[in-house]
Amino acid sequence: MRHSFGFSLLASLYASAVLALPTEVPAEAAPIERRDGTTTLTAAQLASFAPYTQFARAAYCTSGIPTWTCGDACEANSGFEVTLSGGDGNDVQLYFVGYWPSQNAVVVSHEGTDPTQFLSDLTDTDIVMENLNTTLFPGISNSIFVHSGFANEHAKTAPAILAETRSLIQQRGADSVVLVGHSLGGALAELDALFMTMNLPSDVSIKSVTYGTPRVGDPAYASFFDSQVPDFTRVNNEKDPIPIVPGRFLGFEHPHGEVHIVAPNDAVSCPGDDDATDAECTIATVPNIFDSDLLDHLGPYQGIYIGTIYCT
């Protein structure tokens, strides 16, 4: 239904644009409004995610990271200089930090984890939530609660990553910091986006793009995150169950920024935090884990798959 509707809408818009403007073809079509406030991403907007997707993918490629030789994922962002990497893919998720000359940016990327185990952990009804550490998140309210495991995992690497980020800003004059990750790595990147915003000078811009990210904290966390981190995108692929866990009935809520890939080359931007009731956003497309497909967690994210087996 949706596809035929989308196609005929596109076709008629295209036809009317051609009829109305025979001599002027806009360089990029304006985003198309869909019902209930979702917006279809243009081809250019979709293509613009590729470097971030490749950075998120590269975090899985343990052996190649120190030298930035991990096949397609590294070659897609050739010129990137890794300056710090760590983790063991077990107790501590692999991560890397480095300088991206073409964007004058520091990039931080976190690896995810085994999706089957991860889904099982996040559907446990005994999930513990806790406050964020006020040494790491100065002044954060004790009415904000996040997933205890994510907070602890984040705290393991946060001081070293912040020190390296500050050093790159100072030495290289970087004026922005990019936080990316997939799966558990997406949750860590989301916490990093808040952490960096609260610890770096306000003239450093923060951008975060995550993939297949679970819910990280409660509604108070989501609203605080929304107020602090404007440039945030969490990309969800088709029927991936990870973005719907832990459940809202357990007190979790996503912040803003959802982009839902509904089919290859077709994605919508969903308004609001976790209440986008539009049929094309994740919450309606994946009503529960029994009506989901864990393979969609791996991609494709605009043709790019993310996971250890995709380190070519």
* Rounded alpha-carbon distances, angstroms, from residue 170 to 34, 165, 195: 44, 9, 18
Candidate ranges 61-69, 115-123, 132-140, 263-271; the one touching ligand NAG (CB under 6 A)? 132-140
Q: CB 217 → ligand NAG: shortest distance, Å?
A: 17
The neighbour count for residue 251, using CB atoms within 10 Å, is 15
Q: CB 152 → ligand NAG: shortest distance, Å?
A: 8
Q: Which residues pair with 268 in a beta bridge?
A: 40, 260
Residue of 136, 216, 222, 235 interacting with ligand NAG (CB under 6 A): 136
199 binding ligand NAG? (CB under 6 A): no
Residue of 133, 167, 228, 308 interacting with ligand NAG (CB under 6 A): 133
Residue list 153-172, contact with ligand NAG (CB under 6 A): 155, 159
Compute the distance between CA of residue 66 and CA of residue 77 in angstroms, rounded to an integer: 14
- Report helix, strand or coil for 281: coil
135 binding ligand NAG? (CB under 6 A): yes
Read off the amino acid at residue 121. Answer: D
Spatial CB neighbours of 188, under 8 Å, sequence gap ≥ 6 = 93, 95, 110, 150, 153, 154, 157, 181
Q: CB 135 → ligand NAG: shortest distance, Å?
A: 4
Which lies closer to ligand NAG via its Cβ, residue 140 or residue 174?
Answer: 140
142 binding ligand NAG? (CB under 6 A): no
259: number of CA atoms within 13 Å, CB side? 22
Binding site residues, ligand NAG, CB under 6 A: 133, 135-136, 155, 159
